[in-house]
Structure 1
Amino acid sequence: MSARTPSGPPAARHGWAQALATVLGALIAMGVVAAPGLWAAGATGLPGGSFPQVVAAAVVTAVGGTVELSGDAGDLAGTQGGLTVMPLSVTLTGALVVGRGFLRPLRRRAVAGAPELAGWAARIAALWLLAVLGLALAARHTYELSLGDGPLGDLGDLFGIRPVVGFSTDVPATVLVGLLWLAGVLVVALSVARGAPLPAGLLRFQASVRPAARAMVRLLLAAVVIGLVVALVVAATRGHPAETFAVILLGLPNVAWLALTIGLGATWDGRVEGPFGLPMPRVLDEVLRTPDVSALNLGTLTEHDGGRWWWLLVVVAVLLVATATVMAARSPARVRAWQHAVRMAVALALTVLMICLTVRISARFGLSVLGIGDLGEGFSGRVLLRLRLWGALGLALLWGLVTGFAGALLARAPRRRHGAGTPR
């Protein structure tokens, strides 16, 4: 009998079965969040039994897809529109499940080869591509639109017009953006997870990138938790629980991360018109329901709803200092305070850029009959929300430098007490 010698850690189990479990788990989790959120928003009342298709559309938009609105009523009437919005509660759920599934087979290892990581990611990506393709094809439905009893109804009866409207997705673009979304999630997962293995060539970046990446994820999740507490209090004290839970299950990170940037001092440009509205607290809808594009920031919120919105500034300052302190405490002691400040500034600016790309909203729908466009508020509307990016990035860099330096100084005292040395 020959003796066997140890040959190192066992090979990671990350084959096709594990990839399938990761993809299916993410899709199921996203559907479980989207379906009750859409139910609370009243989507079950849509005609034609289209609720499953609406849920599929919500999942598609959660990974960056765009829903296109279209219609047809012959040569006498036409519709046009589009919808770009990410229900970030659904997005965040899917990202957490995908990230955990990707990292699970890699735990308890220090180093993994680039071919191994690429092969594991490719398995997930191949199945994810098929899943997103199926959802994009399923996310489509048509409805017959009633013109009502007004001028449009009279024109419709006169000319026998029965407009049909519907929604669908741009399948190639949705698949491409869905793959980019997956790639971003996997990169963030590797950057954030403390125990995730990296190729040997990337180990030298571990000490500088991972503390900052983890700090930004903590910041974003802390903002969501605070938003959840506020939303539950509002639901319990001010009524309208269905609307509040629809926001929680579909757009809680949208609201929380919007508030985070406003607390930094950033300004969003927006407009709300017609029957549509923002899937957000009513005060934001009211500030933006003006004839022209309006500014949404601490100043306009305070003018509209009193001085309590300045508390956002205090909350954001506390969150950033706490984030910077934890980041400095988890970084090597040899890192100087100014290096912490620079890393915090860069990380916060990238986070604000991500918020800009994911929280923005663009929605437009219009109906015209015999060339008479947008007859009545019931048949047209527009929602727009976009960040003034360069100003926001500048504020993020400034906040990051100040809070990063303060966090480095606050992290020194515990290190002195524990004899871990101080940053030089």
Structure 2
Amino acid sequence: MSPLFPSDQAVVARHGWVQAVTAVLSALAAMVLVAALGLWGAGAADLPDGAFPRVVMATVVTAVGGTVKLSGSAGGLADSKAGLTVIPLSVTLTGALVLGAGFLRPLRHRAVAGGRELAGWAARIAVLWLVALVVLALTARQKFKLSLGDDTLGDLGDLFGVSPEVGFTTDVPPTLFFGLLWLAGVLVLALLVSRRAPLPGRLLPFQESVRPAAHAMVILLLAYVVLGTLVALVVAATRGHVPETFAVILLGMPNLVWLTLTLGLGATWNGKVQGPFGLPMPHVLDEVLRSKDTQALNLHTLAAHDGRVWWLLVLDAVLLLAVAFLMAARSPARVPAWRHAVHLAVALALTVLMICLLCRISARFGLSVLGIGDLGGGLGGQLFLKPELWTAVGLGALWGLVTGFLGALPARPVRRKGEIKQGTG
């Protein structure tokens, strides 16, 4: 064939370095934009010493699994301790969607792709992603000076020459490792979820069982994010606090709504809130957890403050039945209902496991002078929230079995795409 007329295969298989650069830069730009707008709504634009861009970079680092360490210094007579573990999942989700779309775009209109071809395309993106992670890690570092607050603490600071500082730096090796692990997860999930993405020939027999279930879980998670965003917008329009609400939407909406998904399944999270820390919304979570002792967070403890939380159980049931029907409708008609139930049980159990690992929260800060801790003045506090992991995973599997079976029953008469009815010519 003449070079002037390349084959169709060459046209649709165009996924070189230019496409890889476009995919990586598009994902990074989207994540930086979402993080910047969310932090601006939270008031971080007023941070001293021009620290806002570095805080944005640190937020993106944590969003892809990177490690940001907090450090404290308050002179020779004082000590400050700080720690923060939280993933801004709104930023994470944005990057995953954009990067996944960029990865799949050059592969469209294909039925099969070789394993070596897919590995080469993924490797190009990984190399550029690694470079981006290094730049982010070296940029995300800053120090802040803290005010001691009230007059008594201010006098102590003047007397002992205490000038507390808190800073953050990025731990580069873990950031590169977990950042690449996050990338691998995004690319694999993109291949699993997309109905049109090509797979190596050896994996084609597994797509009928894996892809519909994976797609159903992504739809479920996105549905919760959309519903949570709509509720937040209504709250902002009726009760005010618009910048703070947009900060929650752009930084941590999945953290909140995916937590409520597990609560609706019957899962229990244990946590405590002390000091200036707090949960952004809804307020009932803060009411339950604000205590000196660890508190259980589940439907029963929440219902003691607001009986409307029982609707979370109904919402879970409705959405799970809907995605179970969708999963069955996207599967071949020959698949029995019990097998759909098993597929959804495994998929939902893995989804709940992911939520439990990603939505954990831990934050603490304290300042002591001459060994005297908990100086008050709003300078000390603790917040943590962690799940009862295997109970939550087991409940997810049980819900998946029931809703997977029930949702598959009405999908039997649905005609699948490309299916030809018997007896028709």
- For each residue in 1:201-258, what CA deviation from the matched residue of structure 2 results, as whole angstroms up to 9, or x when unmatched? 1111111100000010011111111111111111111222222111111111111111
1:403 and 2:378 matched: no
The answer for the alignment partner of 2:314 in structure 1 is 314
The worse-fitting range, judged by mean Cα deviation, of 132-141 and 393-402 is 132-141
The answer for the alignment partner of 1:16 in structure 2 is 17
Q: How many Å apart are 1:413 and its aligned residue? A: 3.1
RMSD over aligned Cα atoms? 2.0
Q: Decide whether the 8 Å contact of 2:149 with 2:377 is kept in 1.
A: no
Partner secondary structure for residue 180 of structure 2: helix
**Structure-2 change in CA distance of 1:160 and 1:22 (3 Å):** same
Q: Decide whether the 8 Å contact of 1:341 with 1:405 is kept in 2.
A: yes
Partner secondary structure for residue 74 of structure 1: coil
Distance 1:281 1:185 in 2: 29
Task: Give runs of aligned pairs for residues 356-395 of structure 1, distance below 5 A.
Answer: 356-395=356-395
The answer for the alignment partner of 1:274 in structure 2 is 275
Residue ranges of structure 1 left out of the alignment (5+ in a row)? none
Partner secondary structure for residue 357 of structure 2: helix
Task: Give runs of aligned pairs for residues 1-400 of structure 1, distance below 5 A.
Answer: 9-10=9-10, 12-305=13-306, 307-400=307-400
Distance 1:357 1:270 in 2: 15
- For each residue in 1:342-379, what CA deviation from the matched residue of structure 2 results, as whole angstroms up to 9, or x when unmatched? 00000000000111111111111111111111210521
**Structure-2 change in CA distance of 1:2 and 1:205 (3 Å):** closer
**Structure-2 change in CA distance of 1:334 and 1:166 (3 Å):** same
**Structure-2 change in CA distance of 1:232 and 1:165 (3 Å):** same
Residue ranges of structure 2 left out of the alignment (5+ in a row)? none
- For each residue in 1:158-197, what CA deviation from the matched residue of structure 2 results, as whole angstroms up to 9, or x when unmatched? 1222222211121111111111111000000000011101
Q: Decide whether the 8 Å contact of 1:251 with 1:280 is kept in 2.
A: no
Distance 2:348 2:408 in 1: 16
**Structure-2 change in CA distance of 1:366 and 1:391 (3 Å):** same
Letter in 2 for 1:89: S
Q: Decide whether the 8 Å contact of 1:251 with 1:279 is kept in 2.
A: no
Partner secondary structure for residue 331 of structure 1: coil
Q: How many Å apart are 1:139 and its aligned residue? A: 1.1
Distance 2:171 2:2 in 1: 62
Letter in 2 for 1:182: L
Task: Tell me the percent identity.
Answer: 71
Q: Decide whether the 8 Å contact of 2:153 with 2:377 is kept in 1.
A: no
Distance 2:413 2:206 in 1: 26
Q: How many residues are paired up?
A: 419
Letter in 2 for 1:21: T
Q: How many Å apart are 1:81 and its aligned residue? A: 1.6
Distance 1:69 1:7 in 2: 55
Partner secondary structure for residue 117 of structure 2: helix
**Structure-2 change in CA distance of 1:373 and 1:249 (3 Å):** same
Instruction: Please give the TM-score of this superposition, normalised by the length of structure 2.
Output: 0.94
Letter in 2 for 1:316: D
Q: How many Å apart are 1:16 and its aligned residue? A: 1.2
Distance 2:157 2:398 in 1: 58
Distance 2:26 2:54 in 1: 19
**Structure-2 change in CA distance of 1:5 and 1:155 (3 Å):** closer
Distance 1:161 1:236 in 2: 44
**Structure-2 change in CA distance of 1:72 and 1:106 (3 Å):** same
Letter in 2 for 1:264: L
